[in-house]
């Protein structure tokens, strides 16, 4: 069985990311080839990058970095789940990415974004980062339009309209991780 983690990339109180992550996980639960976990950056609670050596060297001095590195290495693929913030991605997610180097290389990674307009600019910005890491970027990167003013009920209805995209993502992970 392969393992893919959904990294929850927003950390503020009242964040929607938990609802979106729960929905993604429920849609992905049908896979017989892959188990999907969630990694909540709020729980991982990394400080602002506090390593002296360049992360690309992999010489980590802090316990939290060693743990973060081991956690990411333990997954065959990743889904970065994040909202659009001011035409970019959330800072805690970038901080978590900056901590490591080779761990992201060749890792199959998909982006699932959400926001009032789905998160196109956030994906464009993150694509540059993932390209720099030489990650294996997947073709399916759903952009989910949910309005910050939507009620929880509205959000559930809207999310269900994207089920097929998440199922498509599941198929792509099964294809990419098959061997």
Alpha-carbon distance of 112 to 169, in angstroms, equals 10
Alpha helices, DSSP H, located in the chain = 17-28, 41-44, 63-73, 91-98, 120-132, 152-160, 163-177
Residue number with CB closer to ligand FMN (63 or 152): 152
Residues of span 98-137 touching ligand FMN by CB under 6 A: 115-117
Alpha-carbon distance of 172 to 178, in angstroms, equals 10
Core vs surface per residue 118-140: b (16+ CB within 10 A) or e? bbebbbeebeebbeebebebbeb
Residue number with CB closer to ligand FMN (101 or 118): 118
One character per residue 15-54, x = contact with ligand FMN (rule: CB under 6 A): xxx-------------------------------------
Residues of span 136-165 touching ligand FMN by CB under 6 A: 148
Residue number with CB closer to ligand FMN (117 or 171): 117
Core vs surface per residue 6-22: b (16+ CB within 10 A) or e? bbbbbbeeebbbeebbe
Residue number with CB closer to ligand FMN (42 or 102): 42
Residue number with CB closer to ligand FMN (115 or 142): 115
**Minimum CB separation from ligand FMN for residue 116, in Å?**
3
Residue with tokens 């199959």: 108
Is 84 a binding residue for ligand FMN by CB under 6 A? The answer is yes
What is the total count of residues that contact ligand FMN (CB under 6 A)? 14
Give the one residue of 26, 45, 61, 87 binding ligand FMN; rule: CB under 6 A. Answer: 87
- Number of helices (H), then strands (E), belonging to the chain: the values are 7, 6
**Chain contacts with ligand FMN (rule: CB under 6 A):** 10, 12, 15-17, 83-87, 115-117, 148
């Amino acid at each position: 069985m392969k393992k893919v983690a959904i990294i929850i990339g927003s950390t503020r109180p009242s964040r929607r990311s938990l609802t979106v992550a729960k929905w993604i996980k429920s849609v992905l639960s049908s896979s017989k080839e892959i188990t999907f976990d969630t990694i909540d950056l709020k729980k991982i609670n990394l400080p602002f990058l506090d390593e002296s050596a360049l992360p690309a060297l992999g010489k980590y001095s802090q316990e939290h970095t060693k743990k973060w590195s081991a956690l990411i290495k333990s997954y065959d693929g990743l889904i970065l789940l994040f909202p659009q913030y001011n035409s970019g991605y959330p800072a805690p997610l970038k901080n978590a990415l900056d901590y490591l180097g080779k761990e992201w290389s060749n890792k199959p990674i998909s982006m699932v974004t959400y926001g009032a307009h789905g998160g196109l600019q956030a994906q464009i910005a993150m694509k540059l980062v993932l390209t720099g890491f030489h990650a294996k970027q997947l073709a399916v990167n759903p952009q989910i339009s949910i309005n910050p003013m939507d009620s929880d009920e509205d959000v559930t209805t809207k999310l269900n309209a994207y089920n097929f995209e998440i199922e498509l993502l599941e198929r792509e992970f099964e294809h990419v991780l098959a061997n």
